[in-house]
A and B are shown apart, each in its own frame.
Chain A
Amino acid sequence: MIAFTDIVGMDLAKQAMMLLAVDPSLGGVVVPAAVGSGKSTLARAFSGIVSEDTPFVELPLNVTEDRLIGGVDLEATLVQGKRVVQHGVLSKAHEGVLYVDSLSLLDSSAVSHVMDAMSRGAVLVEREGLSEVHPAKFMLIGTYDPSDGDVRMGLLDRVGMIVPFTTQNDYRARKLIVNCVLGKRDAEDTEDELKMLRGLIEAAQEQLPLVSMTKEQMQGLIQSAVSLGVEGNRADIFAIKAALASAALAQRTDVDEDDLKLALKLVLVPRATQMPPQEEEVMDDMPPDEDMPPDSPESEDQDAPDDNSDPDEEEEEEETPDMIEELMMEAIETELPDNIMNISLAAKRKSRSGSRGEALNNRRGRFVRSQEGEMRSGKVAIIPTLISAAPWQESRRAERKKKFGEIKTALIINKEDVRIKKFRDKSGTLYIFMVDASGSMALNRMRQAKGAVSHLLQNAYVHRDQVSLISFRGKEAQLLLPPSQSVDRAKRELDVLPTGGGTPLASALFLGLETAKQARTKGVSQIMFVVITDGRGNISLQSSYDPDAPKATKEEVQQEIEAISATIFAEGVASVIIDTQMNYLSRGEAPKLAEKLGGRYFYLPNAKAEEIAMAALS
């Protein structure tokens, strides 16, 4: 295995892990990074810097609910003739590390259980006749590739440190890893370094109770959390703990600027829901989507800094308001590398070939109840099987004794006793709304479209469906809301949707397709596109991502749209096209799009919002 000290790059992630090792109550570290950046190597290497007897448990993505939470141990139960409890993955990680690779691909019910265990420090097992509490205080180390989708904010909130997404040093790091694998580094050196690191951490743990922070520093951190719009109180506590741990690592008794900066970078900035207020005026008339990748974890954050404003300049004008605020600006700047766009696009192209996680859905979903069935046709439900066999034991034993003489088995289970687990599929449909917000959508049309979407959303949530929202305007489409059950959020995003600019329809369809594929890997089988547009795409996919690309002709744009539409149709995604074009202006673009997508077509100007909603959902 590659040691912690051998990994080059990912410095911030390593720093975060050091802090976690010093103070496990920081809850954990989440590392978002692209494929091949060595994030999982680093996560595994973490076990090398904590004491040897610390459990390190990996949570497989296809984990079932009973394995996660715990349940009845079949073999032991059968042998002993009484209920034997098996602890789940969560409680096995007690006082140790729970490692999840590809956190964003983890099933949403599994995420809920991890969240619950983290806030309780225990697992409540109320299943299959069991009622127990298993301790489960663990450090969560999670890694994920942002191009696979987002991690639920509820989970991230319970993890102390979230390493800013970066792809720097990627190449260098990989090369070093390769070198290391080839044995170019001395194993003894490595062991010495690790020993030193462990010593450092132990010393820091002893130092930690002696470290204190001034009231001003504490207020400063909390003020930063407020300005960044961080939700809740957990982050305050984590930020303070991170700063204290950082000071302890440096063998200091008081917290200095570097400690605060680190706490800002690792704890507060990644949870920001807004930019600090002083930036606001600049944002109003600028399109907010320039620098944001559609699938970055901060996609909620509308107020990304843009190229035209220079934060340094502003700071000079404003006569040093507060040290903390300055540090915060600095931390935010480093958090959004400018090459971020290229990278996530590269990852996208890769996943386009669909290499990832296709087979994850087999027999997943939630175990609901049991029913009679063939042993081979599914998973056997142990307890119900035993229950149905129980009343007959005495008579069967007697009967068998009569036939065969002495019997050895403790239990006699016949074929008709077998009960099979019935799983509930992830029911419900994912509706991906793609709203054309280009200049050609007149404002009143937009209002109508929003009304229709709102009605669809209302209906969708009655059926426990998921919704996702993509808007397209200007150069490219943007994922405003990744698949979620929150109608509230979708509505909020809609309310503030700016309009104007070109119509990058191809980009929207492409992004929709990507979102659909990701949802499929998470077990959503039914997907429907609801495209609200006049159908007049005029920005090609290539120019969406490459500003230097030559302007595409109308025909080229049209060809692109047709090609993507055909792929969407082939993927089995259903579509509804809601045409917003005035009759006398229409050249039939939207009906054509509906045809290519094999979807249904509605003409909005004549229809009421509710009618469209009903029609689309019927």
Chain B
Amino acid sequence: MTQTASAAKKTASTKAKSGSVAAKASGPKKARTKKKQGTAFPFTAIVGQEEMKLSLILNIIDPRIGGVLVMGHRGTGKSTTVRALAEVLPMIERVKDDVYNRSVSDYIEAEKPKKGAKAMTPEDMTIEDIPVPVVDLPLGATEDRVCGTIDIEQALTSGVKAFEPGLLAQSNRGFLYIDEVNLLDDHLVDVLLDVAASGRNVVEREGISIRHPARFVLVGSGNPEEGELRPQLLDRFGLHARIITILDVAKRVEIVKRRHEYDDDPQAFLKKWTREQNKLQKRILQAKELLPEVTMSDEVLTDVAKLCMQLGIDGHRGELTITRTANAFAAFNGDKVVTIEHVREIAGLCLRHRLRKDPLEVMDPGEKIDRELAKVLGEVEEV
């Protein structure tokens, strides 16, 4: 379960054999990489909790959805599910061994050549495939490890001020996961808000000055009973999945059995689920490819706007999130045209945390959203 962050690091340092470089006529050279099989509990073997699983999948299909906050009962497999995510993620291309996981074009743009030096061309570079990184940010992390800091060993041994990238660098173009996000220290929350808003991490400390891209899908989980999330951070999450204890005894028996089977022999269990895992991964890839072709009619868009207005949601983030999420959802289902039914399925996920807080409101936000949508569509009489 802990392989995520360190695996990303390891991949970065793996030396590719020079002989295996497949030279192409033009464009960057490519190093061969093997995808490592993880040992986390398989994503597809998780029983129930469809809302959470769907939110994560939609974020893989379109990372611009803006991440997901998973809140709910303890012991319901929140962190197990997120940590299982790594295994179904697609591969991305990055400049070989780049600590910021940059693509060739990002790399060239950022590393402007010094005066007089020859401009970089893609042909000069080697690229490699890496799995989309999933980085675990533990609560006890210090700011220097999150943002990166001066490399102390280099500083001591050679007196050189070199930058040692932090978790934000590792999570660029990937997922950044914070368990118990509602307990995260305020100063780290501030850092995250900053970086999430700008997509870049700026480090100005201990005499170094570095800026690097840090665009990640933020995934947080927690139990609301342990504490509330700061409103600004809440607002950062594209989707809000709720998770509750499964009450169906048969399902719970199945959960226990699978867990037992996994604990008994993880390798055998993983093997048993390989097919399902591959199937899901393929479906996600297909959805990713289909996504650019997915369209939403003006009619549906108008209904979405009306819904947000009815619910009194500030700004345009509500509409934007619904649109992106509905597109991704349609793509996941193999549909090229977004219908209002797609919207209905995901509206709760997109808007639940954006409703204005009314202390005396007793209705569940999900229900309220459904009701308002029905009103917008003229399915029920206005009360």
Contacts and interface: CB of A to CB of B under 8 A. Distances in A.
B140 A127 contact: yes
Contacts of B362: 495
A128 B144 contact: yes
Interface in B240-273: 245-247, 249, 252-253, 255-256, 259-260, 263
Contacts of A25: 263
A488 B229 CA distance: 11
A155 B226 CA distance: 11
Contacts of A69: 140
Contacts of B139: 109, 112-113, 116
B259 A237 contact: yes
Contacts of A235: 75
B274 to A, nearest CB: 24
Nearest to A392: B159
Interface string B22-33: 000000000000
A489 to B, nearest CB: 5
B256 A218 contact: yes
A451 B361 CA distance: 11
Contact of B152 (A65, A153, A369, A387): A387
Contact of A387 (B141, B206, B230, B263): B206
B359 A390 contact: no
B356 to A, nearest CB: 11
B74 A131 contact: no
A574 to B, nearest CB: 23
A219 interface: yes
B225 A489 contact: yes
A108 B137 CA distance: 18
Interface stretch (A41-49, A454-462, A520-528): A454-462
Main secondary structure of the interface of A (DSSP, over half): helix
A144 to B, nearest CB: 18
Interface stretch (B181-189, B277-285, B294-302, B315-323): B181-189
Contacts of A333: none
A126 B156 contact: no
B310 interface: no
A321 interface: no
A419 to B, nearest CB: 10
Interface stretch (A200-208, A226-234, A346-354, A547-555): A226-234
Interface in B156-172: 156-157, 159, 161, 164, 167
A451 B360 contact: yes
A367 B151 CA distance: 20
Contact of B359 (A113, A236, A366, A458): A458
A116 B256 contact: no
A181 interface: no
Interface stretch (B2-10, B194-202, B337-345): B2-10
Nearest to B244: A231
A588 to B, nearest CB: 30
A393 B253 contact: no
B359 A112 contact: no
Interface string A410-439: 010000000000001000000000000000
Contact of A219 (B150, B247, B253, B360): B253
Given A109-B139, A390-B159, A458-B359, A231 B1 contact: no
Contacts of A564: none
B180 interface: yes
A405 interface: no
B140 A486 contact: no
Contact of A233 (B76, B142, B186): B76
A411 B185 CA distance: 34
A120 B152 contact: no
A146 B140 CA distance: 28
B157 A81 contact: yes
A2 interface: no
B321 to A, nearest CB: 23
Contacts of A368: 143, 185, 187
A154 B139 CA distance: 15
A424 B152 CA distance: 24
Given A454-B359, A458-B357, A491-B359, A120 B1 contact: yes
B1 A487 contact: no
Given A232-B75, A485-B228, A131 B153 contact: no
Contacts of A455: 359
A451 B359 contact: yes
Contacts of A232: 73-76, 245
A129 interface: yes
Contacts of A81: 156-157
B312 interface: no
Interface of B: 1-2, 5-6, 9, 73-77, 79, 136-146, 149-153, 155-157, 159, 161, 164, 167, 179-180, 182-183, 185-187, 206-207, 223-228, 230-231, 245-247, 249, 252-253, 255-256, 259-260, 263, 357, 359-360, 362
Interface of A: 25, 65, 68-69, 81-83, 108-109, 112-113, 115-116, 119-131, 133, 152-154, 157-158, 215, 218-219, 222-223, 225-226, 230-237, 240, 366-369, 383-384, 386-388, 390-391, 393-394, 411, 424, 450-451, 454-455, 457-458, 461-462, 464, 484-489, 491, 495
16 contacts: A115-B180, A123-B138, A124-B5, A128-B145, A222-B252, A226-B252, A233-B75, A233-B246, A236-B252, A240-B256, A383-B152, A388-B206, A390-B152, A424-B185, A451-B360, A488-B228
